[in-house]
Amino acid sequence: MASAPSKLYADDVSLVVVLLDTNLFFWSSSSVSFSQFLSQVLAFLNAILTLNQLNQVVVIATGYNSCDYIFDSALDLNRGIENGRMPAMSSSLLQKLEKFLIKDEQLSKEEPEGRIKSSLFSGSLSMSLCYMQRVFRSGALHPHPRILCLQGSPDGPEQYVAIMNAIFSAQRSKVPIDSCYIGAQNSAFLQQASYITGGVHHKPQNLDGLFQYLMTIFATDLHSRSFIHLPKSVGVDFRASCFCHKNTIDMGYICSVCLSIFCKHQKKCSTCGSVFGQAQSEVASASDKKRKTPET
Amino acid sequence: MPQVKIIAKNFMDMVASLPAIKLDMLYRNQFICEAILRSLPPLAKKYVLQMLYIDDPITSKSLQEWVIADGSSKHKVSIDRLIQLRVFEVIDRKKETTYKLNPTFQTSLRKHLIYGGILPREPMPPNVIARLPTSEELDAYALEQWECFLLQLISSGQAEKSSSFSSSMMRIFQRGFLRQREKEAPRLTESGFQFLLMDTSAQLWYVIREYISNSEEQGVDQADLIAFLLELSFHTTGEAYNLDTLTDYQTAMIKDLADLGLVKLQKGRKESWFIPTKLATNLSVSLADTTSRKQGFVVVETNFRMYAYSSSKLHCEILRLFSRVEYQLPNLIVAAITKESLYNAFENGITADQIVTFLQQNAHPRVAEKVPSVPENVTDQIRLWETDLHRVEMTPAHHYDEFPSRDVFEAASDFARMHSGLLWEDANKMRMVVRAEIHMLMREHLRSQNK
């Protein structure tokens, strides 16, 4: 469904949904401390709200087992700003974050060994898209939304299908997904998300200056992006995960009906149920194209 | 007819024209920095935030590299604006110009981003104040005050009560809007009409600008008034603030602002307070050139009939400017756009574009979703009727005939062309039409030819 036309008030009104990675496994082994990171993010959020009276910010925390909203500027700031906006915003955000982290930890069960300690990125991405649908359907004039992902955890291949579905849905609603990766390796999911939806992906070199990166690149409103040089994607990692074992694969088998990817030859497609033909010999079997084409 | 335009001079231009020392003092106030930041064009806002934590000056060339070629005009506009408001300081070295953020501005904005700003006054506790008006009551109050003021401004007989503005103040506001001849009721001038068709926030800023420029003559400092106004826009709508927290000049100004509908004054048993309305808190939104956001009320149909869902006298007056109002019901005004009414409007100096823009900006939400919100046949016809008046262009001229020889004719036509006065010529029959201004020159030339 095409998104409702968003009439812009001024050209630079923005609605930013920030997906904050709070995965404890990542932050306990990261070079920069979570409190330093959070103070820079809070200043960045305040800067966005300062830019225009009509700007809105929503923060969703991405935990290890769950995700939740921890801040919505439209709700929280209607109360008086007697003490100044920053203290009110920070205190409300930090309180909710603390409650969320406690809840998230309680949900941890026994995990099988060897699972990559990734955060529930697919969950928070879906939550933000639901929020945006609510904004679209409210019917009133609204600014054009975008998503900013601050991720450090590695990618979890078991979330591949959910994340790709969310990315295509964002593409259809014309919502750009910006991503800022603060972990050690590269994140294929974030690169693909920004590439497909037309957002910006960047991996800052120096995490002490995160605020400057955020201000320079990610605070740019959608209208100004057509005039400003922004980091272009150098090479995007398009590797997919197989649907059966959730491993990342380069070459595999694809169902010709529903385009699901499998690493080994199957008799029947698990997604659509179509029966495959007889197995061909290894030499003769042509490996199908390894890239999954986006559904439109 | 002459196209007179009201230069709705930007409030920010007035701020930029303050002397440097005063401007620096203004920048010590965090809220003013925020208001000024919001008034900048989007590219300029970005530059300010990017340079906020950079202490060394940046060359203008590296600033230019941030923008792609398409945006170079916007880049130039933004840089000029920043220099005008003295947010950017220009350091001209031998080889290249560099820019640096104004240090006062930089410190204030940094503090504002990290710690947030604290208003100089707090809302009063609920036990002291009597019943606060609800937001609907407050909005209705603001609208009523503003409309009453506007109606009085255009000296319409419809204004029910007069505001407490002194007649000299009203005359200053009306300067340029009304023309009064002897024994006649005052008539609106062209700029007056254009003012009425402007957006509410633009009108509000115009009135405030006039008010502040006028106060300079009465000895009140412009910078203080500007600072108070910008601060006012950061208060919370609907909260009561004690009048004791205001200085003397602010108290004087508050009464005038109440007449405009920006604040509501209330008295309790011991104390009195003021309550900012939406008009006041939306001031900082309308600082930059933004499109209008208020809810429209006009539905235009393809049969040239207009239905305006409004009971406001001001709206009725505005619609009367260019359409024929047929019925006025308690919540609806029915009007028709006719050739006569439009000719009337054009004669008064309103352009077709202004009328079309007004209709589009005030389109009722039901039709605002449609593209186009005003039917094309109506907009096209309005424009056509306007060009009707310009179809024939008249230039005083002289017609020359019966040239003795072709040489004389050609010499004369070259002469006329040199003086850019040749309007028409027929080489076969040796006739030409020349502008009246160079008629005497032509005569001299032809006489000299005859000799």
Q: How far apart are CA A237 and CA A155, in angstroms?
A: 12
- pTM equals 0.75
The reply to whether A257 touches chain B by the CB within 8 Å rule is no
pLDDT band at B167 (very low <50, low <70, confident <90, very high): low
Give CA–CA dist A97/A100, Å, rounded. Answer: 5
- Residue B294 CB-density burial (10 A; 0-12 exposed, 13-18 middle, 19+ buried): exposed
Query: Residue B290's pLDDT is what?
Result: 47
pLDDT at A97 over 50: yes
Closest to B318 (Cα-Cα) out of B282, B289, B260, B357 = B357
How far is the alpha carbon of B328 from chain A, nearest alpha carbon, in Å? 29
**Residues of A (76-115) whose Cβ lies below 8 Å from B:** 80-89
* pLDDT at position A150: 92
Nearest by CB to residue B50, choosing from A83, A216, A226, is: A216
Of all residues in chain B, what percent carry a pLDDT higher than 70?
Answer: 84
Burial-class residue B183 by CB neighbours within 10 Å (0-12, 13-18, 19+).
Answer: exposed
Q: Which of the four pLDDT bands, split at 50, 70 and 90, describes residue A93?
A: confident
The pLDDT value recorded for residue A295 is 47
Mean pLDDT of A227-242: 78
Residue A166: predicted pLDDT: 93
What pLDDT digit, counting tens, does each position of A116-140 carry? 778 889 999 999 999 999 888 876 6
Size of interface A-B (CB pairs under 8 A): 100
- What pLDDT was estimated at residue A111? 61
Q: Examine the pLDDT at A84 and tell me if it is beyond 70.
A: no
Please give the residue that has the higher pLDDT: either B370 or B300.
B300
pLDDT at A147 over 90: yes
Q: Which two tokens stand for residue B324?
A: 């024929």
User: Measured between CB atoms, which of B116, B236, B289 is closest to A84?
Assistant: B116
Average pLDDT, integer, range B334-339: 93
What confidence category does residue B5 fall into, taking pLDDT thresholds of 50, 70 and 90? very low
With cut-offs at 50, 70 and 90, classify the pLDDT of residue B345.
Answer: confident
The residue ranking higher by pLDDT, A167 or B38, is A167
B125 min Cα distance to partner chain A (Å): 12
Distance set, CA A169 to CA A132, A197, A221, A271 (Å): 11, 9, 21, 19
pLDDT of the residue at B287: 56
Q: Render pLDDT for B234-255 as a digit per residue (tens, 0 to 9).
A: 777 777 777 777 777 777 778 7
- pLDDT mean over B4-9: 40
Q: What is the pLDDT of residues B97-126, one digit of tens each?
A: 788 888 888 888 888 888 776 776 776 766
- Candidate from B59-68, B74-83, B127-136, B388-397 with smallest mean pLDDT: B127-136
Is the pLDDT at B14 greater than 80, yes or no? Answer: no
What local confidence, expressed as pLDDT, does residue A290 receive?
Answer: 46
Q: Do B34 and A50 touch (CB under 8 A)?
A: yes
Query: Cβ–Cβ of B38/A51 closer than 8 Å?
Result: yes
Among the partner-chain residues A83, A216, A220, the one whose CB lies closest to the CB of B118 is A83
Q: Do A86 and B123 touch (CB under 8 A)?
A: no
Burial state string for B142-175 with b = 16 or more CB within 10 A and e = fewer than 16 = bbebbbbbbbbbbbbeebeeebebeeebbebbbe
Tell me, yes or no, if A33 comes closer than 8 A to chain B by beta carbon. Answer: no
CB contact set of A263 (below 8 Å; sequence gap of 6+):
A242, A244, A245, A247, A249, A252, A253
What is the per-residue pLDDT for B308? Answer: 93
Quick: pLDDT tens for B361-372. Answer: 888 888 887 778
- Whether residue A51 and residue B284 make contact (CB cut-off 8 A), yes or no, is no
CA distance A180 to chain B (A): 17
Chain A hits for B118, CB-CB cut-off 8 Å, are 82-84
- Residues of A in Cβ contact (< 8 Å) with B113: 43, 46-47, 50, 86
Query: Which pLDDT score is estimated for B310?
Result: 87
Please report the pLDDT score of residue B100 as a whole number: 83
Confidence of residue A171 (pLDDT cuts 50, 70, 90): very high
B313: closest CA of chain A, how far (Å): 27
* Chain A residues whose beta carbon lies within 8 Å of the beta carbon of residue B122: 82
Does the pLDDT value for residue B3 go beyond 60?
no
Asked if the Cβ–Cβ distance from B46 to A228 is below 8 Å, we say yes
The DSSP line for chain A is -PPPP---SSTT-EEEEEEEE--HHHHHT-SS-HHHHHHHHHHHHHHHHHH-TT-EEEEEEE-SS-EEEEEEHHHHTTS--TT-HHHHHHHHHHHHHHHHHHHHHHT-----TT------HHHHHHHHHHHHHHHHHT-S--PEEEEEEEE-SPP-GGGHHHHHHHHHHHHHTT--EEEEE-SSS--HHHHHHHHHHT--EE--S-GGGHHHHIIIIIT--TTGGGTB--PPPS-----EE-TTT--EESS-EE-TTT--EESS--SB-TTT-PBP-PPPPTTTPPPPPSSPPPP-
Indicate if ipTM > 0.85: no
Mean pLDDT, chain B, integer: 79
More confident residue, B305 or B368: B305
Looking at residue B379, what is its pLDDT?
Answer: 92
**The pLDDT value given to residue B408:** 85
Query: Are B68 and A82 in contact (CB < 8 Å)?
Result: no
Whether residue A51 lies within 8 A of chain B, CB to CB, comes out as yes
The residue with greater pLDDT, B356 or A277, is B356
Lowest mean per-residue pLDDT among A3-12, A32-41, A75-84, B311-320: A3-12
pLDDT above 90 covers what percent of chain B?
9
What is the pLDDT, as a whole number, of residue B8?
38
pLDDT greater than 50 at residue A3: no
Residue A14's pLDDT band, with cuts at 50, 70 and 90, is: confident
pLDDT tens digits along A240-282 = 777 777 777 888 888 888 888 888 888 888 878 888 876 665 4
- Closest to A19 (Cα-Cα) out of A181, A169, A172: A181
